Structure 1
């Protein structure tokens, strides 16, 4: 269980990628990670222990995960969910580990997810529909959602535009159609006990995301993946008012650092009463810290 001292936290970053492995058979980066570095301007992939040092020095906690997209790529992720969970066990004052299971794994995936929950104490799961090539309301993913709902664990879904494949011939095979947040409206109806986090400003479907977050009690929006100065104006307006209790700070580290993100966020004109909700308090409530 979490050992996070909420009173000492400045912020909780609900969206960080572990791209560097500590294992001998792991890789610090593959072609996809190298391409991301070219888009976002980082030249190495930090391991989870390195991320821990970074966040602990800033009095922050973070949600950390990988992405299992073996059905599309044919290879395991450079860093696995088990590695993240095992390393996080020694740093529960900083890290909230999430798992990732490709829905196309079927029954094998359910077994993997159950093990991650029951033996490794992961606190939620990350889905990236365009990398995993499925519509979030496709029934093939429902057995996974049923397991998450059983344990009241949140599911974090990439929505909207993606840095993955950006500038690569044919977009690297990534199809943006899968990440329209409207598909999550069905999931929210069918799994009312599974918290849902819609990751990123959902460009170009921001209005759909706002409608769902406003309408469905268990649906949240994280603000990762975009520098705040580029946020659609309606997102800022809603975050400051109607959905101020349902918006979460996320950076997309190491693609964007919390330092850079928060510096830009400070220029948005977010109300002083709302700022701590977005940076920390909403996540505290969501994760039961």
Structure 2
């Protein structure tokens, strides 16, 4: 990956379909998600690579392993890693391991980094049905910290399960970013990314990221024109080294996100930090 030639690094994109057509969500959750987010294409990973290559961008790619709570098998982490390796000029593989998997999950995480070159891990506490601070997940966090790769946590409300009776069993409370403050204390060398503007807990996310040096924020899942004013203010000042461009592709395209970001009142010297430089540093990418 030639970082110098990239115009941006999107740290939050989803592999929604495998090579054999297996989807990342069950049919009922997928239908509710399509209604909430509006119907959108579900590109394969090679198609994602072509999309980002055309735009001279790189993208972090992951799925969500929530098999314990949903009963729906995940897209294979190995498939994602191998597909990203085939397009290493533009794609960066993250994995997802259900925190309910205990010791098996720890072994898998170590294998995925050691044998498949995975560069980080994605958690979705509400979908996975576990509070981030649940001690059952601590051995997995410890392994990720030891491996020296970041952990990205969904925070705030989720469109998954929206409109389904009982929200599809998904509990929003698990995605309050303040629950991740304990992890930042107990795992001070674990680099943590709080994904999304954290509605309705934006101030909590800003507080944690400001207080804990190992906590970052990605801006995915919302058009920048809807960002809360305090998020823009902190991104421009106290958190200018810790805020990351993320789109949530394919739900939101980077084309739309960047067009709206252009209209946002962000200082000229801060824009390249958010779009690329902060991600280069966080992900340990090498600049020429």
Normalising by structure 1, report the TM-score.
Answer: 0.95
Could you give the per-residue CA deviations for residues 233-281 of structure 1, whole angstroms, max 9, x where no partner exists? 1000000111000000000001100000111111111111101100000
| Contiguous gaps of at least 5 residues in structure 2 | none
1:110 has 2:110 as partner: no
Tell me the residue number matched to 1:73. 70
- Structure 2 distance, partners of 1:233, 1:195, is 26
Return 164-173 or 35-44, whichever deviates more.
35-44
Return 106-115 or 141-150, whichever deviates more.
106-115
Return 53-62 or 42-51, whichever deviates more.
42-51
- Among 186, 199, 214, which residue is 1:203 paired with? 199
Tell me the residue number matched to 2:132. 136
Could you give the per-residue CA deviations for residues 69-105 of structure 1, whole angstroms, max 9, x where no partner exists? 011111212x221110011111111111001000101
1:251 has 2:223 as partner: no
1:263 has 2:259 as partner: yes
The CA RMSD over aligned residues, in Å, is 1.3
- Structure 2 distance, partners of 1:68, 1:138, is 17
Contact 2:11/2:244, CA 8 A, preserved across alignment: yes
Contact 2:25/2:72, CA 8 A, preserved across alignment: no
User: Tell me, what secondary structure is at the counterpart of 1:53?
Assistant: helix
- Structure 1 distance, partners of 2:212, 2:72, is 36
How many angstroms does 1:172 deviate by?
1.7
Within 5 Å, give how 1:42-81 maps onto structure 2: 42-77=39-74, 79-81=75-77
User: Tell me, what secondary structure is at the counterpart of 2:116?
Assistant: coil
1:156 has 2:152 as partner: yes
Return 104-113 or 230-239, whichever deviates more.
104-113
Tell me the residue number matched to 1:20. 17
Tell me the residue number matched to 2:170. 174
User: Tell me, what secondary structure is at the counterpart of 1:182?
Assistant: helix
Tell me the residue number matched to 2:30. 33
How many angstroms does 1:29 deviate by?
6.8
| Contiguous gaps of at least 5 residues in structure 1 | none
How many angstroms does 1:27 deviate by?
4.4
- Structure 2 distance, partners of 1:285, 1:29, is 32
How many angstroms does 1:40 deviate by?
1.6
Could you give the per-residue CA deviations for residues 143-187 of structure 1, whole angstroms, max 9, x where no partner exists? 111111111110000001111112222212111000000111110
Tell me the residue number matched to 1:241. 237
1:273 has 2:269 as partner: yes
Normalising by structure 2, report the TM-score.
Answer: 0.96
